[in-house]
Structure 1
């Protein structure tokens, strides 16, 4: 059974994270299927833009703790979104946690309904938002990231737009995206690709400079005793031992 739904309308390919049973957590299988779908979109000249969305009430709960992707695979997926020669838009109507926020930051444009919520929950299970910082740090307000990275607090869609995680938020996310998609359909494909390269150059510099270091950090933290305690506590629905 596929974990990625695919539809197309007027040159826009919609890829839906379709694993609602685990809240679209980023498993090794889901990351692999999404990467394959993006590869197809990059090769297909009929695709003018890609919309990344979800089924269920969660865009993505972050890494699948039972079947996590290798950090290198997640780096590869995020870079693939940034480098795709088509604009990639995130469409969010539910909750986004941890690694799912890396997908949003990698997209060129991200829109969410006011019902969406966001949180960098890594510190609460004993790890850090390492790999997802590659697209996040260049694109998001640093003071806001300091607060939300360090506390794991939940924040809403208007706040996500204020700090640069989202392009826009509204009561009806499709109404928000409609004029954006219309503009992309009216834009010349080669011009779009070259304009995207201008916009993503700084983000790709962070991948070139920091990917190896952050991948190693992620692997080290996920193998740590605190991470084992944090993940066990999460799965057992209890506070980890360090909570005071």
Structure 2
């Protein structure tokens, strides 16, 4: 079964997360297939830019708790998006949770519909947004992000834009993306690659400095007793034991 759908229009390659049965959760299989699709698009001289989007009502629900990718694989995927020599544009028309927000932050431009919702749900299942902090912390408002990280509250597209997660939000996300994609089509490929390199330099510094420590933190937390309780409670649709 293919988990990534591919289409192309005027040099823009669209990669759609296509696993709606589990709300496009980041399984080991989906992460691997997305990495392969990005590699292909990055090498293809006929591709000027990439749109990363989704089928169903959820961009991504975060890590697949039944088949999670190793933390190292998620780090590699996020870094691949950032290092790709072509702009990657996120198109969101649904909900984004946990690890899905890492994908969003790794993209160069992110647009969402105004009715999209977002949440860092990690703390509610006993873990932390460790690996996804690599692209998130350098690109977002620290004070706004702190509330979202620490509470796990759901927030809307306007708040996501104010936090720095989104470039833009609109009732019609495709109308909002129209001039952005036209602008990318008018830009010289080598100039786009070098300009992206300028924009991502500080993000890649965070990867070089912190990736090993955050990968280890993620692995430690996911194997902790609180995480086991949190994930079990989530799958059983009940509150975990620590809720007061």
TM over 0.5: yes
> For residues 163 and 61 of structure 1, what CA distance do their matches in structure 2 show?
20
Structure 1 equivalent of residue 151 of structure 2: 151
Q: 1: distance between equivalents of 2:41 and 2:204? A: 20
C-alpha separation between the residues in 1 aligned to 2:242 and 2:114? 33
Displacement of 1:56 after TM fit? 0.2
Per the alignment, residue 65 of structure 2 pairs with 65
Match of 1:131 in 2: 131
Alignment of 1:70-149 (within 5 A): 70-149=70-149
1:31 aligns with 2:38: no
Structure 2 gap segments, 5+ residues each: none
Residue aligning to 1:162: 162
SS in 2 for 1:8: strand
Looking at structure 2, the residues matched to 173 and 19 of structure 1 have their Cα atoms a distance apart, in angstroms, of 21
1:176 corresponding residue in structure 2: 176
Root-mean-square deviation (CA, aligned residues, Å) is 0.3
Once residues 159 and 175 of structure 1 are traced to their aligned partners in structure 2, the CA distance between those partners, rounded to angstroms, is 20
CA separation in 2, counterparts of 1:237 and 1:216? 28
Mapped to 2, the partners of 1:109 and 1:135 lie a distance apart of 13
Shift of 1:115: 1.3
In 2, the alpha carbon distance for the partners of 1:112 and 1:230 equals 29
Q: How many residues align?
A: 244
Report the secondary structure of 1:66's partner residue. coil
Q: What do residues 129-179 of structure 1 show as CA deviations (whole Å, max 9, x unaligned)?
A: 000000000000000111010000000001101111000000000011000
Which ranges of structure 1 fall in alignment gaps of 5 or more residues?
Answer: none
Q: For 1:112 and 1:82, how far apart are their aligned partners in 2?
A: 19
TM-score for both structures, normalised by structure 1? 1.00
Secondary structure of 1:46 counterpart: coil
Cα distance in structure 2, aligned partners of 1:57 and 1:230 = 24
